Amino acid sequence: MNTKPRIVVLGAGYAGMMTTKKLMKNLSPEEAEIVLVNKHNYHYQTTWLHELAAGTINQNQVRIMIRDIINPNRVRLIYDTVVKIDKDDSRVILENSELTYDYLVVCLGYETNTFGIKGMNEHAFFIEDFDSCRLIREHIEYQFAKYNNDPDADESSLNILVGGGGFTGIEFIGELVEKVPKLCKKYDIDRGKVKVINVEAAPSILPNFDKDLVTYAKKSLQERGAHIMEDTRINECTQEGFIVGENNELIKAGTIVWTGGVTGNSILGTSGFELTKGKVMVHGDLRAPGYDNIFILGDCAWVMNKQENRPYPPTAQAAMQHATTCGNNIRALIHNEPLEEFVFSDKGTVASLGVTDGMGAILGDKKLYGKSAAAMKKIVDDRYLFLLGGPILLLKKGKVRPF
Protein backbone atom coordinates (compact mmCIF):
# COMPACT_ATOMS: atom_id res chain seq x y z
CA MET A 1 0.00 0.00 0.00
CA ASN A 2 1.30 3.43 -0.98
CA THR A 3 1.34 5.69 2.07
CA LYS A 4 3.51 8.45 0.63
CA PRO A 5 1.97 11.91 1.04
CA ARG A 6 0.95 13.60 -2.19
CA ILE A 7 1.98 17.22 -2.71
CA VAL A 8 0.02 19.03 -5.43
CA VAL A 9 1.37 22.31 -6.81
CA LEU A 10 -1.12 24.38 -8.81
CA GLY A 11 0.44 26.70 -11.39
CA ALA A 12 3.83 26.81 -13.09
CA GLY A 13 4.71 30.46 -12.65
CA TYR A 14 7.68 31.72 -10.65
CA ALA A 15 6.37 30.42 -7.32
CA GLY A 16 5.08 27.12 -8.71
CA MET A 17 8.20 26.21 -10.67
CA MET A 18 10.61 27.16 -7.89
CA THR A 19 8.51 25.38 -5.23
CA THR A 20 8.54 22.21 -7.33
CA LYS A 21 12.31 22.48 -7.75
CA LYS A 22 12.72 23.00 -3.99
CA LEU A 23 10.52 20.00 -3.16
CA MET A 24 12.51 17.82 -5.55
CA LYS A 25 15.64 18.83 -3.66
CA ASN A 26 14.18 18.56 -0.16
CA LEU A 27 12.35 15.25 -0.53
CA SER A 28 13.36 11.90 -1.99
CA PRO A 29 10.96 9.95 -4.26
CA GLU A 30 10.33 7.61 -1.31
CA GLU A 31 9.29 10.48 0.97
CA ALA A 32 6.60 12.11 -1.16
CA GLU A 33 4.80 12.16 -4.50
CA ILE A 34 4.96 15.54 -6.22
CA VAL A 35 2.36 16.64 -8.79
CA LEU A 36 2.56 19.87 -10.80
CA VAL A 37 -0.61 21.07 -12.52
CA ASN A 38 -0.52 23.79 -15.19
CA LYS A 39 -2.85 24.91 -17.94
CA HIS A 40 -0.11 24.81 -20.57
CA ASN A 41 2.91 22.59 -21.09
CA TYR A 42 5.20 25.63 -20.84
CA HIS A 43 6.37 28.18 -18.29
CA TYR A 44 7.01 31.80 -19.24
CA GLN A 45 8.84 34.75 -17.73
CA THR A 46 6.06 37.05 -16.53
CA THR A 47 8.53 39.93 -16.20
CA TRP A 48 9.26 39.66 -19.94
CA LEU A 49 5.63 39.81 -21.11
CA HIS A 50 5.77 43.55 -21.81
CA GLU A 51 8.60 42.88 -24.26
CA LEU A 52 6.64 40.13 -25.97
CA ALA A 53 3.62 42.45 -26.23
CA ALA A 54 5.72 45.22 -27.81
CA GLY A 55 7.46 42.81 -30.16
CA THR A 56 10.98 43.57 -28.94
CA ILE A 57 11.77 39.99 -27.90
CA ASN A 58 11.41 36.68 -29.68
CA GLN A 59 8.46 34.75 -28.31
CA ASN A 60 10.51 31.55 -28.13
CA GLN A 61 12.87 33.24 -25.67
CA VAL A 62 9.99 33.94 -23.28
CA ARG A 63 8.58 30.42 -23.28
CA ILE A 64 10.23 27.44 -21.55
CA MET A 65 8.90 23.90 -21.83
CA ILE A 66 8.15 22.58 -18.34
CA ARG A 67 9.51 19.08 -18.98
CA ASP A 68 12.86 20.63 -19.93
CA ILE A 69 13.15 21.86 -16.32
CA ILE A 70 11.05 19.43 -14.29
CA ASN A 71 11.89 15.76 -14.78
CA PRO A 72 8.57 13.99 -15.57
CA ASN A 73 10.01 10.79 -14.11
CA ARG A 74 10.36 12.57 -10.77
CA VAL A 75 7.31 14.85 -10.81
CA ARG A 76 3.92 13.97 -12.27
CA LEU A 77 3.05 16.69 -14.78
CA ILE A 78 -0.62 17.35 -15.50
CA TYR A 79 -1.59 19.86 -18.17
CA ASP A 80 -5.14 20.84 -17.32
CA THR A 81 -7.18 23.81 -16.07
CA VAL A 82 -8.05 24.14 -12.39
CA VAL A 83 -11.78 24.62 -11.88
CA LYS A 84 -12.12 24.54 -8.09
CA ILE A 85 -10.34 23.59 -4.88
CA ASP A 86 -12.48 21.45 -2.54
CA LYS A 87 -10.71 22.25 0.72
CA ASP A 88 -12.93 20.09 2.94
CA ASP A 89 -12.35 16.90 0.92
CA SER A 90 -8.73 17.78 -0.01
CA ARG A 91 -9.51 17.58 -3.73
CA VAL A 92 -8.65 19.69 -6.76
CA ILE A 93 -11.25 19.63 -9.51
CA LEU A 94 -9.81 20.02 -13.01
CA GLU A 95 -11.58 20.37 -16.33
CA ASN A 96 -10.78 16.79 -17.32
CA SER A 97 -10.14 15.01 -14.02
CA GLU A 98 -9.66 15.54 -10.30
CA LEU A 99 -6.87 15.03 -7.77
CA THR A 100 -6.66 14.38 -4.06
CA TYR A 101 -3.84 15.88 -2.03
CA ASP A 102 -2.18 15.69 1.36
CA TYR A 103 -0.47 19.05 0.86
CA LEU A 104 -1.56 21.73 -1.57
CA VAL A 105 0.45 24.68 -2.91
CA VAL A 106 -1.63 27.31 -4.71
CA CYS A 107 0.39 29.39 -7.19
CA LEU A 108 -2.27 30.22 -9.76
CA GLY A 109 -1.01 33.71 -10.50
CA TYR A 110 -2.93 36.88 -11.19
CA GLU A 111 -5.86 38.10 -13.26
CA THR A 112 -6.34 41.60 -14.60
CA ASN A 113 -8.30 44.01 -12.40
CA THR A 114 -10.08 46.78 -14.32
CA PHE A 115 -11.54 48.34 -11.15
CA GLY A 116 -14.95 48.42 -12.78
CA ILE A 117 -14.01 50.90 -15.51
CA LYS A 118 -16.78 50.74 -18.06
CA GLY A 119 -15.85 49.05 -21.33
CA MET A 120 -12.32 48.06 -20.31
CA ASN A 121 -12.97 44.32 -20.41
CA GLU A 122 -14.64 44.60 -23.81
CA HIS A 123 -12.27 46.93 -25.66
CA ALA A 124 -8.78 46.73 -24.14
CA PHE A 125 -6.00 44.20 -24.44
CA PHE A 126 -4.35 42.92 -21.23
CA ILE A 127 -0.72 42.04 -20.53
CA GLU A 128 -1.86 38.90 -18.75
CA ASP A 129 -0.21 35.80 -20.21
CA PHE A 130 1.82 34.50 -23.13
CA ASP A 131 -1.07 34.32 -25.59
CA SER A 132 -2.58 37.70 -24.69
CA CYS A 133 0.78 39.41 -25.25
CA ARG A 134 1.37 37.66 -28.54
CA LEU A 135 -2.03 38.96 -29.64
CA ILE A 136 -1.08 42.54 -28.67
CA ARG A 137 2.12 42.33 -30.71
CA GLU A 138 0.28 41.01 -33.75
CA HIS A 139 -2.46 43.64 -33.44
CA ILE A 140 0.01 46.54 -33.26
CA GLU A 141 1.82 45.39 -36.38
CA TYR A 142 -1.49 44.79 -38.16
CA GLN A 143 -2.49 48.43 -37.51
CA PHE A 144 0.72 49.62 -39.20
CA ALA A 145 0.31 47.25 -42.13
CA LYS A 146 -3.32 48.30 -42.61
CA TYR A 147 -2.43 51.99 -42.56
CA ASN A 148 0.38 51.37 -45.05
CA ASN A 149 -2.19 49.99 -47.49
CA ASP A 150 -4.56 52.89 -46.92
CA PRO A 151 -2.65 56.18 -46.37
CA ASP A 152 -5.94 58.10 -46.15
CA ALA A 153 -6.99 56.15 -43.08
CA ASP A 154 -7.42 57.88 -39.71
CA GLU A 155 -3.96 58.47 -38.21
CA SER A 156 -5.32 57.69 -34.74
CA SER A 157 -5.44 54.02 -35.74
CA LEU A 158 -1.64 54.05 -35.34
CA ASN A 159 -1.80 55.37 -31.77
CA ILE A 160 -1.04 53.02 -28.88
CA LEU A 161 -2.85 53.87 -25.66
CA VAL A 162 -1.68 52.35 -22.37
CA GLY A 163 -3.79 52.67 -19.23
CA GLY A 164 -1.86 52.50 -15.97
CA GLY A 165 1.49 54.02 -15.06
CA GLY A 166 2.73 51.33 -12.72
CA PHE A 167 5.66 48.99 -13.23
CA THR A 168 4.23 46.97 -16.14
CA GLY A 169 2.74 49.96 -17.95
CA ILE A 170 5.93 52.01 -17.86
CA GLU A 171 8.14 49.08 -18.89
CA PHE A 172 5.75 48.46 -21.79
CA ILE A 173 5.96 52.13 -22.82
CA GLY A 174 9.76 51.83 -22.73
CA GLU A 175 9.64 48.97 -25.21
CA LEU A 176 7.09 50.71 -27.44
CA VAL A 177 9.15 53.88 -27.92
CA GLU A 178 11.93 51.65 -29.23
CA LYS A 179 9.70 49.44 -31.37
CA VAL A 180 7.58 52.15 -33.03
CA PRO A 181 10.44 53.74 -35.06
CA LYS A 182 11.28 50.29 -36.42
CA LEU A 183 7.67 49.68 -37.43
CA CYS A 184 7.50 53.12 -39.05
CA LYS A 185 10.59 52.32 -41.10
CA LYS A 186 9.28 48.88 -42.03
CA TYR A 187 5.94 50.23 -43.25
CA ASP A 188 7.19 53.59 -44.56
CA ILE A 189 5.17 55.67 -42.09
CA ASP A 190 6.21 59.06 -40.71
CA ARG A 191 7.16 58.61 -37.02
CA GLY A 192 5.36 61.84 -36.20
CA LYS A 193 2.04 60.23 -37.06
CA VAL A 194 2.27 57.70 -34.22
CA LYS A 195 1.53 58.55 -30.60
CA VAL A 196 2.43 56.31 -27.66
CA ILE A 197 0.30 57.54 -24.75
CA ASN A 198 0.30 56.52 -21.10
CA VAL A 199 -2.62 57.52 -18.85
CA GLU A 200 -2.27 57.31 -15.07
CA ALA A 201 -4.93 58.36 -12.54
CA ALA A 202 -2.46 58.97 -9.69
CA PRO A 203 -0.50 62.22 -9.41
CA SER A 204 2.64 60.43 -10.62
CA ILE A 205 3.63 57.33 -12.54
CA LEU A 206 5.58 54.60 -10.68
CA PRO A 207 4.18 55.51 -7.25
CA ASN A 208 6.43 53.02 -5.39
CA PHE A 209 9.68 54.43 -6.76
CA ASP A 210 11.95 57.18 -5.45
CA LYS A 211 11.14 60.65 -6.83
CA ASP A 212 14.53 61.01 -8.56
CA LEU A 213 14.06 57.68 -10.32
CA VAL A 214 10.57 58.64 -11.47
CA THR A 215 11.83 61.96 -12.81
CA TYR A 216 14.52 60.16 -14.78
CA ALA A 217 12.04 57.63 -16.19
CA LYS A 218 9.61 60.34 -17.34
CA LYS A 219 12.34 62.39 -19.00
CA SER A 220 13.78 59.35 -20.76
CA LEU A 221 10.42 58.22 -22.13
CA GLN A 222 9.26 61.68 -23.14
CA GLU A 223 12.49 62.40 -24.99
CA ARG A 224 11.84 59.28 -27.06
CA GLY A 225 8.31 60.34 -27.95
CA ALA A 226 6.06 59.03 -25.18
CA HIS A 227 3.12 61.13 -24.02
CA ILE A 228 2.58 60.71 -20.27
CA MET A 229 -0.71 61.93 -18.78
CA GLU A 230 -0.64 61.88 -14.98
CA ASP A 231 -3.49 62.71 -12.62
CA THR A 232 -5.89 61.74 -15.41
CA ARG A 233 -8.82 59.51 -14.54
CA ILE A 234 -10.15 57.06 -17.12
CA ASN A 235 -13.95 57.30 -17.05
CA GLU A 236 -14.65 54.78 -19.80
CA CYS A 237 -12.97 52.68 -22.45
CA THR A 238 -14.65 52.57 -25.84
CA GLN A 239 -13.78 50.98 -29.16
CA GLU A 240 -12.17 54.29 -30.13
CA GLY A 241 -10.09 54.88 -26.99
CA PHE A 242 -10.27 56.28 -23.45
CA ILE A 243 -12.75 58.88 -22.24
CA VAL A 244 -10.86 60.79 -19.54
CA GLY A 245 -11.04 63.67 -17.08
CA GLU A 246 -13.77 66.01 -15.95
CA ASN A 247 -14.44 67.14 -19.53
CA ASN A 248 -14.81 63.56 -20.84
CA GLU A 249 -12.10 64.05 -23.46
CA LEU A 250 -11.75 61.20 -25.96
CA ILE A 251 -8.20 59.98 -26.60
CA LYS A 252 -8.36 57.92 -29.76
CA ALA A 253 -6.15 54.93 -30.55
CA GLY A 254 -6.09 51.82 -32.68
CA THR A 255 -4.47 49.76 -29.93
CA ILE A 256 -5.70 50.01 -26.32
CA VAL A 257 -3.85 48.16 -23.54
CA TRP A 258 -4.79 48.14 -19.86
CA THR A 259 -1.98 47.55 -17.33
CA GLY A 260 -3.55 49.33 -14.37
CA GLY A 261 -4.00 46.54 -11.90
CA VAL A 262 -4.11 42.84 -11.07
CA THR A 263 -5.75 40.65 -8.48
CA GLY A 264 -5.37 37.05 -7.35
CA ASN A 265 -6.83 34.23 -9.42
CA SER A 266 -10.65 34.10 -9.23
CA ILE A 267 -10.51 30.40 -8.29
CA LEU A 268 -9.57 31.55 -4.79
CA GLY A 269 -12.98 33.15 -4.39
CA THR A 270 -15.02 30.38 -6.03
CA SER A 271 -13.24 27.87 -3.79
CA GLY A 272 -14.34 29.69 -0.65
CA PHE A 273 -11.11 31.26 0.56
CA GLU A 274 -11.52 34.46 2.56
CA LEU A 275 -10.17 37.27 0.39
CA THR A 276 -8.70 40.70 1.07
CA LYS A 277 -8.66 42.75 -2.13
CA GLY A 278 -8.74 39.58 -4.20
CA LYS A 279 -5.97 37.69 -2.36
CA VAL A 280 -5.61 35.47 0.69
CA MET A 281 -3.91 36.96 3.74
CA VAL A 282 -1.69 34.03 4.68
CA HIS A 283 0.06 33.27 7.96
CA GLY A 284 3.77 33.94 8.37
CA ASP A 285 4.53 30.34 7.43
CA LEU A 286 2.57 30.93 4.15
CA ARG A 287 -0.34 28.66 5.08
CA ALA A 288 -3.94 29.65 4.46
CA PRO A 289 -5.87 30.55 7.62
CA GLY A 290 -7.72 27.51 8.92
CA TYR A 291 -5.89 24.97 6.75
CA ASP A 292 -2.65 23.43 8.00
CA ASN A 293 -1.95 21.65 4.69
CA ILE A 294 -2.63 24.47 2.19
CA PHE A 295 0.05 26.98 1.19
CA ILE A 296 -0.74 30.02 -0.96
CA LEU A 297 2.10 31.82 -2.73
CA GLY A 298 2.94 34.52 -5.26
CA ASP A 299 0.24 36.77 -6.69
CA CYS A 300 -2.49 34.84 -4.85
CA ALA A 301 -1.19 35.79 -1.41
CA TRP A 302 -0.72 38.76 0.85
CA VAL A 303 2.26 38.17 3.14
CA MET A 304 2.53 40.68 5.94
CA ASN A 305 5.62 42.72 6.65
CA LYS A 306 5.13 42.79 10.41
CA GLN A 307 7.64 45.57 10.97
CA GLU A 308 5.80 47.95 8.65
CA ASN A 309 2.34 46.45 9.23
CA ARG A 310 1.59 46.12 5.53
CA PRO A 311 1.91 43.35 2.93
CA TYR A 312 5.13 42.81 1.01
CA PRO A 313 4.88 43.84 -2.68
CA PRO A 314 3.83 40.86 -4.84
CA THR A 315 6.97 40.77 -6.98
CA ALA A 316 8.75 37.98 -8.83
CA GLN A 317 11.60 37.98 -6.31
CA ALA A 318 9.08 37.64 -3.47
CA ALA A 319 7.38 34.70 -5.23
CA MET A 320 10.73 32.94 -5.62
CA GLN A 321 11.47 33.45 -1.92
CA HIS A 322 7.98 32.17 -1.03
CA ALA A 323 8.96 28.96 -2.82
CA THR A 324 11.99 28.40 -0.61
CA THR A 325 10.02 28.85 2.61
CA CYS A 326 7.15 26.71 1.34
CA GLY A 327 9.45 23.88 0.25
CA ASN A 328 11.18 23.87 3.62
CA ASN A 329 7.89 23.97 5.52
CA ILE A 330 6.30 21.09 3.65
CA ARG A 331 9.35 18.97 4.42
CA ALA A 332 9.09 20.07 8.06
CA LEU A 333 5.42 19.04 8.21
CA ILE A 334 6.16 15.61 6.75
CA HIS A 335 8.90 15.06 9.34
CA ASN A 336 7.05 16.68 12.27
CA GLU A 337 9.60 19.48 12.56
CA PRO A 338 9.09 23.18 13.40
CA LEU A 339 8.00 25.46 10.54
CA GLU A 340 9.86 28.63 9.56
CA GLU A 341 8.44 32.12 9.10
CA PHE A 342 8.82 33.85 5.75
CA VAL A 343 11.34 36.68 5.82
CA PHE A 344 11.64 38.77 2.68
CA SER A 345 15.15 39.71 1.56
CA ASP A 346 14.79 42.76 -0.66
CA LYS A 347 17.39 42.69 -3.43
CA GLY A 348 16.10 45.94 -4.90
CA THR A 349 13.94 46.75 -7.90
CA VAL A 350 15.05 47.76 -11.38
CA ALA A 351 12.67 48.79 -14.17
CA SER A 352 13.63 48.62 -17.82
CA LEU A 353 12.90 51.61 -20.03
CA GLY A 354 13.89 49.83 -23.21
CA VAL A 355 16.78 47.65 -24.29
CA THR A 356 19.56 50.00 -23.21
CA ASP A 357 17.86 52.17 -20.59
CA GLY A 358 16.45 51.67 -17.13
CA MET A 359 16.40 52.87 -13.55
CA GLY A 360 16.06 51.40 -10.10
CA ALA A 361 17.60 50.84 -6.69
CA ILE A 362 19.61 47.90 -5.39
CA LEU A 363 21.29 47.00 -2.09
CA GLY A 364 18.95 49.24 -0.16
CA ASP A 365 19.35 52.72 -1.64
CA LYS A 366 21.99 52.49 -4.39
CA LYS A 367 20.38 54.11 -7.42
CA LEU A 368 21.07 53.00 -10.97
CA TYR A 369 20.29 54.88 -14.17
CA GLY A 370 20.65 54.32 -17.89
CA LYS A 371 22.77 51.53 -19.33
CA SER A 372 23.97 50.30 -15.94
CA ALA A 373 20.37 49.84 -14.80
CA ALA A 374 19.45 48.10 -18.06
CA ALA A 375 22.41 45.75 -17.63
CA MET A 376 21.44 45.01 -14.01
CA LYS A 377 17.88 44.21 -15.13
CA LYS A 378 19.22 41.63 -17.57
CA ILE A 379 21.47 40.14 -14.87
CA VAL A 380 18.47 39.81 -12.51
CA ASP A 381 16.45 38.06 -15.22
CA ASP A 382 19.35 35.75 -16.03
CA ARG A 383 19.82 34.88 -12.36
CA TYR A 384 16.31 33.46 -12.30
CA LEU A 385 17.04 31.37 -15.38
CA PHE A 386 20.17 30.01 -13.71
CA LEU A 387 18.29 29.15 -10.51
CA LEU A 388 15.53 27.50 -12.51
CA GLY A 389 17.48 25.49 -15.05
CA GLY A 390 21.19 25.95 -14.44
CA PRO A 391 23.80 26.99 -17.01
CA ILE A 392 22.14 25.16 -19.92
CA LEU A 393 18.91 27.17 -19.63
CA LEU A 394 20.89 30.37 -19.03
CA LEU A 395 22.88 29.89 -22.23
CA LYS A 396 19.74 29.00 -24.16
CA LYS A 397 17.41 31.76 -22.96
CA GLY A 398 19.56 34.35 -21.19
CA LYS A 399 19.79 38.00 -22.20
CA VAL A 400 23.41 38.63 -21.31
CA ARG A 401 25.44 36.99 -24.06
CA PRO A 402 29.13 36.11 -23.63
CA PHE A 403 31.44 37.93 -26.03
pLDDT (average), residues 185-208? 96
**Percentage of the residues of the chain whose pLDDT score is greater than 70:** 99
**Mean pLDDT rounded to a whole number for the chain:** 95
Would you name the residues annotated as active-site residues? Answer: 171
Note the pLDDT tens digit of each residue in 295-330: 999 999 999 998 888 999 889 999 999 999 999 999
pLDDT (average), residues 103-108? 98
Q: Confidence band (pLDDT; 50, 70, 90) for 403?
A: very low
Q: What is the pLDDT of residue 346?
A: 87
Of 112, 174, 187, 172, nearest in space to 142 by CA:
187
Q: Confidence band (pLDDT; 50, 70, 90) for 401?
A: low
Q: What is the pLDDT of residue 400?
A: 73
Contacts of 376 (CB under 8 A, 6+ apart): 350, 358, 360, 362, 368
Would you say the C-alpha torsion 182, 185, 191, 195 has a positive or negative sign? negative
Note the pLDDT tens digit of each residue in 365-389: 899 999 999 999 999 999 999 999 9
Of 360, 385, 395, 364, nearest in space to 374 by CA:
360
Q: What is the pLDDT of residue 402?
A: 47
What's the CA gap between 89 and 36, in Å, rounded?
19
pLDDT at 263 over 80: yes
**Cβ–Cβ < 8 Å for 245, 232:** yes
Note the pLDDT tens digit of each residue in 121-135: 999 999 999 999 999
pLDDT at 399 over 50: yes
User: Which ranges of 41-115 would DSSP assign to H, the alpha helix?
Assistant: 49-54, 59-62
Contacts of 257 (CB under 8 A, 6+ apart): 53, 124, 125, 126, 127, 136, 160, 161, 162, 163, 172
Would you say the C-alpha torsion 370, 225, 48, 315 has a positive or negative sign? positive
Structure-derived torsion over alpha carbons of residues 253, 256, 260, 266, reported in degrees to the nearest 10: 160
Note the pLDDT tens digit of each residue in 36-51: 999 999 999 999 999 9
First to last CA, the chain: 56
**Percentage of the residues of the chain whose pLDDT score is greater than 90:** 92
pLDDT at 151 over 90: no
pLDDT (average), residues 189-195? 96
Q: Confidence band (pLDDT; 50, 70, 90) for 81?
A: very high
Q: Confidence band (pLDDT; 50, 70, 90) for 2?
A: low
Q: Confidence band (pLDDT; 50, 70, 90) for 1?
A: very low
Give the global pTM. 0.94
Note the pLDDT tens digit of each residue in 207-261: 989 999 999 999 999 999 999 999 999 999 999 999 999 999 999 999 999 999 9
